[in-house]
C-alpha cells in the first residue's frame, strides 16, 4: 500500500456524523467529483463542515499555497503521479473522509493567503479524487481577531512520529477532541467505527480504494493532514463501542504510510455515566 494510495493519505478519515457546535459553521458540499462552497473565508479559527452528497467517500484538505504558486502548479504535480504532494504546500487540516450521505466538521486555524482545497482519497483505480476534478482555489482574507475562545475539548490527542497519545478516555455523545501535531512530520487522524471484534489493524488489511465496504469498520470522523506544530479540533458524535485511530499519511522519504510504522490505536468509547443527583 504505497504510492498514490499512501499519499491519498490525504486519505481517510472522519466521517459523517451529525455535529453540534456553537460557532458559525462554513459548509462545503462534496460530490463525485467536485466541491461547492464559498470561495473566500476570513482568517482566524474557522469551523468547517463537509457534507457528502456523492457515492464515494470524500474529504476536504486545506493546503496553503506559497507566494508565486498556483492551483495549476499543483495540478501539474498531481498529473506527474509523484509519490507525494509538493513539499511547498502547507497542511492546515480539514475534514477527513466522510462516507456517502454523512457529514462531519472540524475547527482549524487559517492565516491570510491563497489556499487549495483538495480531496486525496483514491477511486477504485487508485487515483486520488483530485485528479478527477476535486481541486479548487480558496482565498483567506485578513480579518480582525474575533476574540472567540477555542472550542472546549473533552480530550487532547497528540500526534508524533509514529504514535498517538490520548489524554483520557472518551465517552459516548457529542465530543470535541483537540489535536496537536508534536512530530517533525505532517500527520492526520482517521477515526474508524470498528465492527464487532475487529481492530484498526484489520481495517487497514481489508481496505480497498473506491469507497468499497470494509467489513472491519466504517469511517467515523477525523482531521486531514496537519503540519508540525499545528493544531485543530474534531467535533464528533460517538456511540458506545470500539474505534480505531489511524494515520495514512506517507513518509516523504520512504513513501511508507505512517500506520506501517505503528501509528494506529484501538480505543473503547463507553456509555456516558448519568449526572450525579444533588442532595
SS3 of 58-94: the string is EEEEEEECCCCCCHHHHHHHHHCCCCCCCCCCEEEEE
The reported pLDDT for the residue numbered 15 is: 33
pTM of the model: 0.86
- Per residue, what are the HEC states of the chain? CCHHHHHECECCCCCCCCCCCCCCEEEEEEECCEEECCCEEECEEEEEEEEECCCCCEEEEEEECCCCCCHHHHHHHHHCCCCCCCCCCEEEEEEEEECCCCEEEEEEEECCEEEEEECCCECCCCCEHHHHCCEEEEEEECCCCCCCCCCCCCEEEEEECCEEEECCCCECEEEEEEEEECCCCCEEEEEEEECCCCCHHHHHHHCCCCCCCECCEEEEEEEEEECCCCEEEEEEEECCEEEEEECCCECCCCCCEHHHHCCEEEEEEECCCCCCCCC
As a whole number of angstroms, the distance between CA 116 and CA 71 comes to 7
The reported pLDDT for the residue numbered 95 is: 97
The reported pLDDT for the residue numbered 228 is: 96
The reported pLDDT for the residue numbered 16 is: 34
The reported pLDDT for the residue numbered 52 is: 95
Per-residue pLDDT of the chain (279 residues; tens, 9 = 90+): 334 333 344 333 333 333 333 458 999 999 999 999 999 999 999 999 999 999 888 999 999 999 999 888 888 887 776 656 888 999 999 999 888 899 999 999 999 999 999 998 888 888 889 888 899 999 999 998 877 888 999 999 999 999 999 999 999 999 999 999 999 999 999 999 999 999 999 999 998 877 678 999 988 889 999 999 999 999 999 999 999 999 999 888 888 899 999 999 999 999 987 765 555
How many other C-beta atoms are found inside a 10 Å radius of the C-beta of residue 75?
16
Amino acid at each position: 500500500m504505497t504510492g498514490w494510495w499512501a499519499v491519498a493519505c490525504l486519505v481517510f478519515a472522519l466521517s459523517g456524523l451529525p455535529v453540534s457546535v456553537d460557532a458559525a459553521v462554513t459548509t462545503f458540499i462534496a460530490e463525485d467529483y467536485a466541491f461547492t462552497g464559498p470561495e473566500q473565508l476570513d482568517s482566524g479559527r474557522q469551523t468547517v463542515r463537509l457534507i457528502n452528497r456523492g457515492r464515494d467517500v470524500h474529504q476536504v484538505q486545506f493546503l496553503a499555497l506559497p507566494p508565486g504558486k498556483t492551483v495549476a502548479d499543483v495540478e501539474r504535480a498531481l498529473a506527474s503521479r509523484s509519490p507525494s504532494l509538493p513539499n511547498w504546500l502547507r497542511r492546515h487540516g480539514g475534514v477527513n473522509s466522510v462516507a456517502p450521505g454523512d457529514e462531519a466538521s472540524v475547527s482549524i486555524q487559517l492565516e491570510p493567503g491563497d489556499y487549495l482545497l483538495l480531496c486525496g482519497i483514491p477511486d477504485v483505480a487508485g487515483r486520488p479524487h483530485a485528479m478527477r476534478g476535486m481541486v479548487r482555489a480558496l482565498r483567506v482574507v485578513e480579518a480582525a481577531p474575533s476574540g472567540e475562545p477555542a472550542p472546549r475539548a473533552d480530550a487532547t490527542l497528540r500526534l508524533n512520529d509514529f504514535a498517538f497519545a490520548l489524554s483520557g478516555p472518551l465517552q459516548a455523545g457529542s465530543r470535541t477532541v483537540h489535536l496537536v501535531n508534536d512530530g517533525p512530520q505532517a500527520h492526520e487522524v482517521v477515526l474508524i467505527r470498528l465492527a464487532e471484534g475487529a481492530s484498526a489493524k484489520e481495517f487497514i488489511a481489508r481496505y480497498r480504494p473506491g469507497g468499497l465496504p470494509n467489513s472491519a469498520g466504517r469511517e467515523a470522523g477525523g482531521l486531514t493532514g496537519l503540519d508540525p506544530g499545528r493544531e485543530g479540533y474534531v467535533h464528533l458524535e460517538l456511540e458506545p463501542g470500539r474505534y480505531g485511530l489511524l494515520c495514512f499519511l506517507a513518509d516523504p522519504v520512504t513513501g511508507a504510510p505512517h500506520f506501517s510504522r505503528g501509528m494506529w490505536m484501538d480505543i473503547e468509547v463507553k456509555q456516558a455515566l448519568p449526572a450525579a443527583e444533588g442532595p
